Amino acid sequence: MSPAQLERVLKTGLRRSVRLERDADGIRTVVKRFASRGLVAASLDRARAAAEHRMLTELFERGLAVPRPIGCERVEGGWEVRMEWLGESPNAADLLAGKARWPAGRRAGLRAFANLLAALHAAGVDHADLHNGNALLGASGRAFAIDFHKARRVRALRERTLLRDLVKLCAGARELTTARERARFLLDWRAALPRELRPAASLAALARELEERGREERVDCVHKRRARWLRDGTACAAVDGDFRGFVRHGVDRERIARLGRTALARGAGEFAGLAEPDVLLVTGASARIARRIWCSAARIEEHGLPGPRPLALSLEPRPWVALAMPPHALPATVPQALRSLRSLHSLGRLCASLFDRSLRPAPAIGPLFWIAPRGEVLLGTLGALRRERRAPTGLDAVRALSLAGLSLSDLPRRERAAFAAGLLAGSRLAGAARRALAIELRHGG
């Protein structure tokens, strides 16, 4: 039989890569390759590959929803685990982001993921790297778990391990789901667990803890993921041509390089300007500041906030950053620029989203907010996102407006009502907290 042919690379990283292969009979298989750099790390590749193959074999034989293992062998200086291809099964992250269609509907899909998590917990699987990218949903609506090289089996999982997995999944989904959906997921998971494994805390107390810990976990996770935007990998590609730096996958490199040269030709004294209606070029900053701007734009995107999207970062020979913005957006240089009813409503939604994510923007260079042609308020590009240490149990309307240099007392009734409506629409508060906020806004904060 002729050797299998590479069909495409599914994932690549510093130590691991995953590819899809097809043999002469048209049968597809997934190959996970462990090939670390350095003698110490490379010496552990065999153990990691063997652990994954062993765990897959054990779980597959027990009837759990995991890929069928095919083999484990050393190939060209690395170790490879070959396993069944589950078809074009989207992961939970892509489903929640709207990048793929739910086979049997969103509610059924979330229930399938909850049942999968409960089945892993009932089998004593300490996955250690369970997130929404490692849970797939097949065409039949059955959920599968993947990526077991860090997993281990224990006789009985501790309650803190169960909660850790729930927090990780909640953190990855909280900006793409409602509080009601997360509560339903928790209920489905608990109902599918064996009684002896169910946490002692009430569902209400458990839900509150998960929301609080999930919010903090999400902030930490997105902050750590900035490293993905400063290396060649799944987020962007390293380049070394007209400039040395990084370009987001799918971006026209020649166009971006041309825009960068044009911006630099205008002079290094200009910090920001629209190179084209939908591209913002930032020049005149040091390499350190350019890197910070690039990473801040990446965090804005990963948090699902309206604002810039990273396109390219040049570190040498001269620093510049290219960011995607809605066409013809303009900086809000003075608070009065945000006083239209549409913009105040949008500002309220944005402030509520920031508080929900425990974030507070810190201006560094340029305006904090931009305005799209239809009045949508966007985060500025040149500041940093700082963690809001104050617990977001409610929303302080005065504090929210102060981000834009405004206050409730400055706004006439109609403008205050527009801001309040946006703040309520963007908040994820429920019950008494939501009613208290409505009263606070009605009486002027």
Q: Are residues 413 and 305 in the same domain?
A: no
DSSP 228: G
Nearest to 229 by CA among 156, 122, 311: 311
Q: Are residues 293 and 342 in the same domain?
A: no
Domain end marker among 84, 112, 143? 84
Nearest to 391 by CA among 216, 157, 140: 216
Q: Is 217 helix (H, G, I), strand (E, B) or coil?
A: helix
Q: Are residues 179 and 214 in the same domain?
A: yes
Q: Are residues 435 and 340 in the same domain?
A: yes
Position 109 scores a pLDDT of 95
Q: How far is CA 204 from the centre of its chain?
A: 26
Nearest to 377 by CA among 412, 410, 406: 406
Nearest to 285 by CA among 239, 320, 336: 320
Q: Which residue has the tokens 């009734």?
A: 413
Q: Is 371 helix (H, G, I), strand (E, B) or coil?
A: strand
Q: Which two tokens stand for residue 336?
A: 């009065």
Beta strand ranges found along 62-146 (DSSP E) = 69-75, 78-84, 125-126, 135-137, 143-145
Q: Are residues 218 and 105 in the same domain?
A: yes
Q: Are residues 115 and 219 in the same domain?
A: yes
Burial class, 313, CB count within 10 angstroms (exposed 0-12 / middle 13-18 / buried 19+):
buried
| CATH code of the domain containing 188 | 1.10.510.10
Q: Are residues 74 and 96 in the same domain?
A: no
Q: Which residue has the tokens 């070394």?
A: 240
Name residue 384's amino acid: A
Residues 6+ apart with CB under 8 A from 327: 277, 278, 373
Q: Is 186 helix (H, G, I), strand (E, B) or coil?
A: helix
Name residue 11's amino acid: K
Q: Which residue has the tokens 């902030």?
A: 219
Q: Are residues 366 and 261 in the same domain?
A: no
List active site positions.
129
Strands 272-276 and 236-240, by their bridges, are unpaired
CA atoms of 330 and 25, how far apart (whole Å) = 57
CA atoms of 232 and 237, how far apart (whole Å) = 5
| Total tally of structural domains belonging to the chain | 4
Position 1 scores a pLDDT of 40
Domain end marker among 18, 53, 84? 84
Q: Is the peptide bond before 194 cis (omega within 30 degrees of 0)?
A: no
Q: Is 172 helix (H, G, I), strand (E, B) or coil?
A: helix
Domain of residue 98 covers 92-226
Taken in order 286, 287, 290, 296, is the CA torsion positive or negative?
negative
Q: Which two tokens stand for residue 145?
A: 């778990």
Position 119 scores a pLDDT of 95
Name residue 334's amino acid: V
- CB–CB of 339/378 below 8 Å? no
How long is the chain? 445
Q: Are residues 107 and 199 in the same domain?
A: yes
Name residue 197's amino acid: L
- CB–CB of 137/112 below 8 Å? yes
**String of b and e for 358-386 (b: at least 16 CB within 10 Å)?**
bbbbeebbbbbbbbbeeebbbbbbbbebe
First to last CA, the chain: 75
Domain end marker among 42, 59, 84? 84
DSSP H helical segments within 174-238, as ranges?
179-192, 203-224
Q: Are residues 117 and 198 in the same domain?
A: yes
pTM: 0.80
Per-residue tens of pLDDT for the chain, all 445 residues: 446 788 788 887 777 888 898 888 888 999 999 988 777 677 788 888 999 999 999 999 999 999 999 999 998 888 999 999 998 899 999 999 899 999 989 999 999 999 999 999 999 999 988 889 999 999 899 999 999 988 888 888 888 999 999 999 988 888 888 888 998 999 999 999 999 999 988 888 998 888 888 888 998 888 888 888 998 877 898 988 888 999 999 888 888 888 888 777 765 455 556 667 788 888 888 888 889 889 989 999 988 899 899 999 999 888 989 999 888 888 888 888 888 999 999 998 998 888 888 888 876 667 788 899 889 999 886 667 787 766 555 566 677 778 788 887 788 888 888 888 888 888 766 566 566 666 666 654 4
Q: Are residues 289 and 261 in the same domain?
A: yes
**String of b and e for 196-235 (b: at least 16 CB within 10 Å)?**
ebbbeeeeeebbebbbebbbebbbeebeeebeebbeebeb
CA atoms of 359 and 376, how far apart (whole Å) = 19
Position 195 scores a pLDDT of 92
Q: Are residues 143 and 222 in the same domain?
A: yes
Q: Which two tokens stand for residue 18?
A: 């995953």
List the Cα angle 54/49/8 in 5-degree steps. Answer: 115
